[in-house]
Structure 1
Amino acid sequence: MIYYILLFIFMLLLTIVNIQAMPKLKRYEPDSKTPQPLISILIPMRNEERNVKRIISSIKGLTYSNLECVILDDQSTDQTRTQLLKEIHGDPRFTIIEGKELREGWVGKVHACHQLSQSANGDYLLFVDADVELKERTLEHTLATAQATKAALLTGFPRFPVKTWLEALVVPLQHVVVFSYLPVVVANRNKMSKASAAHGAFMFIKKEAYEAVGGHEAVKSSLVEDVHLAQLFKQKKHHVILANITSHVSCYMYETTEEVWNGFAKNIFVGLGRSAKAVWVLSVFLPVTMCCRFLFL
């Protein structure tokens, strides 16, 4: 029992230290002599009608002037496209493309992101999920941080507003699982591919580097393509930064308790590297976390 308490304390302290070690998004200082690079915001959507209004509204509210937004409607069967046309309302910065049939050997989201990249014209590519909301200065501050750190890929964990008790309990474990074992300072300062973390809801990438590593096609069969893409960038000697983006990016992952359970049940084993030992440790850690929340929060 003492062993588990000590393990819990160690994981908690390491999580706190790692969160503090992550660089925050920097203030943007525009250079009047250098034109703003074009940023392509790329959004895969499949049956996302409930998220359309929020994400389109937040993109329209961005203050960065040189942007385009390409949205892939991946054969949605709900009102996603209708809602997109309504919310975009003729804004020329937005383009909707039709998703193609899934090719053999590809995972759905990876296939969608690959198609989006082929339609992008930007110097930088920002892949975001449909359930994301961006603050108005997100692009300026992300670009400034990427340029200051010489990052070819900048990613981070968004803020996760929660609605249900299960969501409040398990969604933060995404951070804990990563930050309780990954030294962020080490990960951000070296190119060891195993010392990598990423979140597919927000991936800011220099297009030149993206094409050099083979883009999403190079990880076409991955269920955790964000992490594998970050590892690939490091293998190819590109700099990857895990930043604290919670001040600028929010992600509304789930609406119901059932969605929370199904989402984590589907992804947890793959996300832990298919390690039975890691699943066992998390199975012990989760009840301890539950007890601590009920006793002390």
Structure 2
Amino acid sequence: MTIFIYAVLIFLVIRFSVTVFNFLSNPKLPRTVKHYHDKVSILIPARNEAENILLLLESIRHQDYKNYEVIVLDDNSTDETYNLVENFANKNQNFKAVKGKVLPTGWLGKNYACHQLAELATGKYLFFLDADESIQRGLINSLIERMEVGQLALLSVFTNQVMKTLGEILTVPLMHFILLNLLPLRLVKFSANPAFAAASGQCMFFNAKNYHENQWHQQVKKQIVEDVEIIKLVKQSNYTAEALLGNQLIHCRMYKNLAECLSGFSKNLLAGFGNNILILLIYQLLVIVGPIILLFYFNFDLLALPITLIILSRMMISYLSGQNVLINLILHPLQMLFFLIISLISIKKHILKQGTWKGRTIKAI
């Protein structure tokens, strides 16, 4: 037991050190006052997004960039997604609605939709967005500035998350918690090691020439966590890539209730750990079970250090991700409980091959 306690404490110190590094390095997308004029292809895969898609299209229409095209690919929706986009496009010449092809064997839906979109694009940059997002003025210029300064093949941005229900508040902050507690985000760019890889499929900004030469989505056509796999491939191919936080320039409401959160996050959590059940369980043991054991194993004086580190970590991560610090501190125990629940659901889906999303079966490889 003593060895396990020391392991928990050491892992906690390591995670705290990573969080401090992220906090001090402040890995947010810098805003720019410069204006660029290169053509940007904004590419949006959409499957049953009638509730969300117009909010995104309106936010694009009102942003401050001029030279762009928007292509929305309707991925065999069963709702009014295509009709809504087509009507919007008829009134706004920069927008276009297209119908996606039938999903071929060997592809996952989103990956194939993005591959089709890239084939239709004509811009210098390819800007992939999810349909449940909204963008702010200044985002596109800031993305291009970062691409040009860093000579990047890919820039991915973790969006600021919009949360309106208790179910969302109990689960969505876990995404930034895991990211900023485990990975020094600046090393995605400055280390050539593919192990330092993170990306968000909600915002992927590519150099179009580089993308077409490498066909990134085709290379990961079967991957559930395609965003991380793409940025690994980019780095392995000796190109430069970067991942940053959204800095309030792009927002997303991923899910609308607890059931959607549990289903959505469990879909790809285990895949984010390389589909290695043992690694995920060890992580849960150190992050969740370990601190609970500490509560019973130590006296209050000895608990001061781990409690302080956990509180400071949550404060820094909440600040960096633009979330409510006080709410995350108060709800931390419940958020950890739901993290454990999501992990167990993800493992169950993986073992029983029950993964589905928007009516399609998802099989990990």
Q: Determine if the TM-score, normalized by the shorter chain, exceeds 0.5.
A: yes
* 2:8 aligned residue: 4
* 1:135 aligned residue: 136
* Alignment map for 1:82-161 (pairs within 5 Å): 82-161=83-162
Q: Does 1:193 align with 2:194?
A: yes
* 2:32 aligned residue: 27
**1:240-293 superposed Cα distances (whole Å, 9 cap, x missing partner):** 011222320111100111000111121111111112233214434357689963
* 1:218 aligned residue: 219
- Contact 2:86–2:96, Cα closer than 8 Å, also in 1: no
One-letter code aligned to 1:17: F
- Contact 1:132–1:251, Cα closer than 8 Å, also in 2: yes
What RMSD in Å do the two structures reach over aligned CA positions? Answer: 2.4
| SS of residue matched to 1:177 | helix
Tell me, which stretches of 5 or more residues in structure 1 are unaligned? Answer: none
Identify if the C-alpha distance between structure 1 residues 89 and 5 changes in structure 2 by more than 3 Å, giving closer, same or farther.
Answer: farther
Bigger Cα displacement from structure 2, 95-104 vs 212-221: 212-221
One-letter code aligned to 1:45: A
| SS of residue matched to 2:186 | helix
* 1:63 aligned residue: 64
* 2:180 aligned residue: 179
CA distance in 2, matches of 1:153, 1:295: 33
* 1:164 aligned residue: 165
* 1:230 aligned residue: 231
CA distance in 2, matches of 1:133, 1:175: 19
One-letter code aligned to 2:259: E
* 1:37 aligned residue: 38
| SS of residue matched to 1:50 | coil
Bigger Cα displacement from structure 2, 226-235 vs 41-50: 226-235
Structure with greater Cα Rg = 2
Identify if the C-alpha distance between structure 1 residues 90 and 280 changes in structure 2 by more than 3 Å, giving closer, same or farther.
Answer: same
CA distance in 1, matches of 2:155, 2:127: 9
Q: Does 1:257 align with 2:294?
A: no
CA distance in 2, matches of 1:189, 1:178: 17
**1:180-225 superposed Cα distances (whole Å, 9 cap, x missing partner):** 3322232211322221110000000001111222231111111111
One-letter code aligned to 1:27: T
CA distance in 2, matches of 1:19, 1:249: 20
CA distance in 1, matches of 2:13, 2:271: 26
| 1:26 Cα deviation from its structure 2 partner | 3.5
CA distance in 2, matches of 1:98, 1:201: 21
Tell me, which stretches of 5 or more residues in structure 2 are unaligned? Answer: 292-309, 315-327, 335-365
Q: Does 1:17 align with 2:21?
A: yes
Identify if the C-alpha distance between structure 1 residues 213 and 7 changes in structure 2 by more than 3 Å, giving closer, same or farther.
Answer: same
- Contact 1:28–1:144, Cα closer than 8 Å, also in 2: no
Bigger Cα displacement from structure 2, 122-131 vs 265-274: 265-274
CA distance in 2, matches of 1:277, 1:18: 27
Q: Does 1:293 align with 2:330?
A: yes
CA distance in 2, matches of 1:67, 1:91: 12
- Contact 1:73–1:80, Cα closer than 8 Å, also in 2: yes
CA distance in 2, matches of 1:191, 1:2: 32
Identify if the C-alpha distance between structure 1 residues 224 and 38 changes in structure 2 by more than 3 Å, giving closer, same or farther.
Answer: same
Bigger Cα displacement from structure 2, 187-196 vs 216-225: 187-196
CA distance in 1, matches of 2:60, 2:87: 15
Identify if the C-alpha distance between structure 1 residues 108 and 294 changes in structure 2 by more than 3 Å, giving closer, same or farther.
Answer: closer
| SS of residue matched to 2:242 | strand
Aligned residues: 293
- Contact 2:82–2:99, Cα closer than 8 Å, also in 1: no
* 1:203 aligned residue: 204
